[in-house]
Amino acid sequence: MKRLVLALAVTACALGITATPATAGPVTAIPDDQNIAAVPVAGLALTLVRGSFKAMALTIVPLHQFPAFDNIITRESGWDVFATNPTSGAYGIGQALPPDKMRTHGLDWRFNPLTQIRWTYDYMVDRYGSPQGAWEFWQQNHWY
Residue 72 has pLDDT above 60, yes or no: yes
Q: Same domain for 45 and 111? A: no
124 touches 115 (CB < 8 A): no
125 versus 39: which is more confidently predicted?
A: 125
Domain count, the chain: 2
50 touches 81 (CB < 8 A): no
**CA–CA separation, 60 vs 63, rounded Å?**
9
- Predicted confidence at residue 53, as pLDDT, reads 95
Q: Same domain for 68 and 37? A: no
Q: Same domain for 83 and 140? A: yes
Q: Same domain for 49 and 65? A: no
- Predicted confidence at residue 46, as pLDDT, reads 54
Domain around 46: 1-53
Residue 54 has pLDDT above 60, yes or no: yes
Q: Sorting pLDDT into bands at 50, 70 and 90, what band is 11?
A: low
Last residue of a domain, one of 36, 53, 70: 53
Residue 92 has pLDDT above 80, yes or no: yes
Q: Same domain for 29 and 10? A: yes
> Across residues 78-105, what is the average pLDDT?
98
27 versus 45: which is more confidently predicted?
A: 45
- Predicted confidence at residue 22, as pLDDT, reads 40
Residue 29 has pLDDT above 80, yes or no: no
Q: Same domain for 20 and 72? A: no
83 versus 25: which is more confidently predicted?
A: 83
**CA–CA separation, 70 vs 137, rounded Å?**
14
- Predicted confidence at residue 48, as pLDDT, reads 60
* CB-based burial label for 66 (10 Å; 0-12, 13-18, 19+): middle
